[in-house]
Structure 1
Amino acid sequence: MPLFLKKTHRILYFIAVLFFFSLSFPALYFLAKNPQRNYASIVWFRKWISILSVHLVGIRFRVTYEEPIDWSKPYILCPNHTSILDITALTYICPQQFSFVGKIELLNNPVTRIFFKSIDIPVKRESRMSAYKAFKRAGDLLKEGKSVVIFPEGKIDDEFPPILHKFKPGAFRMAQENNIQIIPIVIQNAWDIMWDDGGRFGSKPGVIDITVLKPMDCTPTEGRDFDSIELEVYEKMNQVWLKQREITQ
């Protein structure tokens, strides 16, 4: 697809997001006044604003599960991160109530602000206090039976095409301290549909392939320490990531 058409498609996508968000805003504004009581409703609005927006511009999802997931219990969802469409991918996959942990700059975004002021968890990367508060808030949500999404790479890759970068330890420490399983998720080609926010290459219609791996226990045992667990998750995700890249190239 020519670049000018990709740029046009990106504009149409953001128009779709703003359209569905504007329709939902009066209800969200009211619900966000009491996010604890209205948590499930806010999650519902976030899900359908995201999904309807991508569907309107011809973006779909195809999900493969390594094994069936028991969604009756909370998890820490750990996807790779190459596109803002990863957010929609997670709302599509997960039928549970859940919160994202994301950069504090999302409070400045007119769409994501209301979610990060109510149900999601902003964190200032360079602040230990902010990281501690985010860690505690996420732990509280897990204890309430809600799931948490943490992108273990910490940010979208600056390289194109992207690779799977070394993980940060936060998700694994949280899983260990709360005795919660991690679900590794490989979002294969969102970067090809829209890399980052699409500012450089635009976006296009297409199917985003997602592989949901089986839940993994992060409790250290003899011969399996914290670092080896983190590496085990990384290597499993990277194997799936590289295999799919070989198939599509």
Structure 2
Amino acid sequence: MKRLFKSVHLYYFQIWLALVFTCLYPIIFYFSRSPVKFHGMNRMRWIFSYLSSVLSGFLFRFSYEEKIDWSNRYIICANHTSNLDITAIILLAKRNYVFIGKEELLDNFITGIYFRTIDIPLNRESKMSAFRAFKKAEESLKDGKNVVIFPEGMISENYPPVLQPFKNGPFKLAIEQGVHILPVTICNNWNLMWDDGKRYGTSPGICDIWVHAPIDTSCLTLTDAEDLKAKVYGVISTQLNAQ
């Protein structure tokens, strides 16, 4: 019975996604036209994420190690096990931001318009694609935007999920640009929707998100990138193990 409920809820969630996005699409399309209006695009993304989540029974509870000063620039680094993770970061961020994500998101009917305009697609099999993506991310940081990266670079095949090793790119970029790393631990989204929900279905509930204290990189050099990566990994891993 529980498996049936989770399968039905997945369809319920997908219906709300489609309905809310269809209603908002004319406004999103307007903001996406050249020149792209970043604030409008991100504002509509927040509204879409909030409405589709609440109507589907997903609520987000944020806990903060300290108050976040959103006047600073951040590279937001979070663990990644669920499509709900994207919604969590959208609801968390308080200023213009861009996602770096797999280029397959260009083909998704919801994420496609964002990855063709303000977000940064990346082919994980191509070093050239990765280079171009991080150059665009560098430009975004210089323009005062935040950059969102899931540093595992993938969703774990394990269920329950296991935190995967982090990629080097986000930490080198943070040091090069002198911006803060904002570690975020997404505690239980996988239990409500693992990956896209197709294998195990979905269920309504509260998504617990822990926002850690930002890590200043202004005094670091590129030789510190490995230590920075290990520090962020340790912060997120410790919080996951504490759940």
What range is the shorter-chain TM-score in?
Answer: over 0.9
The alpha carbon displacement at 1:220 in A equals 6.2
* Matched letter for residue 17 of structure 2: V
Quote the residue 1:105 is aligned against: 104
- 8 Å CA contact 1:99, 1:147 repeated in 2: yes
Counterpart Cα distance in 1 of 2:190 and 2:35: 32
Quote the residue 2:121 is aligned against: 122
* Matched letter for residue 10 of structure 1: L
Give deviations 1:176-211, integer Å, cap 9, x for gaps.
111111000000000000000000110011001110
- 8 Å CA contact 1:220, 1:226 repeated in 2: no
Counterpart Cα distance in 1 of 2:43 and 2:238: 33
Alignment of 1:73-84 (within 5 A): 73-84=72-83
Alignment of 1:1-249 (within 5 A): 2-36=2-36, 38-219=37-218, 221=220, 225-244=224-243
Counterpart Cα distance in 1 of 2:167 and 2:61: 28
* Matched letter for residue 40 of structure 1: H
What count of residue pairs does the alignment treat as equivalent? 242
The alpha carbon displacement at 1:97 in A equals 1.1
Counterpart Cα distance in 2 of 1:35 and 1:142: 19
- 8 Å CA contact 2:175, 2:220 repeated in 1: no
Identity, in percent, stands at 42
Counterpart Cα distance in 1 of 2:219 and 2:97: 25
Counterpart Cα distance in 2 of 1:35 and 1:175: 27
1:71 match: secondary structure: coil
Counterpart Cα distance in 1 of 2:6 and 2:52: 16
Runs of 4+ in 1 over 6 A off after TM superposition: none
2:63 match: secondary structure: strand
Quote the residue 1:247 is aligned against: none
- 8 Å CA contact 1:47, 1:91 repeated in 2: yes
Give deviations 1:126-173, integer Å, cap 9, x for gaps.
111211111011111111111010000001111000011110011101
Q: Structure 2 stretches of 5 or more lacking a match?
A: none
The alpha carbon displacement at 1:221 in A equals 4.8
* Matched letter for residue 27 of structure 1: I
Counterpart Cα distance in 1 of 2:124 and 2:133: 10
The alpha carbon displacement at 1:226 in A equals 1.9
Q: TM-score of the superposition, structure 1-length normalised?
A: 0.94
The alpha carbon displacement at 1:217 in A equals 2.1
Q: Cα–Cα, structure 1 residues 106 and 53, in superposed 2: closer, same or farther, change >3 Å?
A: same
2:135 match: secondary structure: helix
Give deviations 1:91-128, integer Å, cap 9, x for gaps.
11111111110000000111110010011110011111
* Matched letter for residue 30 of structure 1: Y
Q: TM-score of the superposition, structure 2-length normalised?
A: 0.96
Calculate the aligned-residue CA RMSD, in Å. 1.4
The alpha carbon displacement at 1:35 in A equals 4.8
1:72 match: secondary structure: coil
- 8 Å CA contact 1:35, 1:118 repeated in 2: no
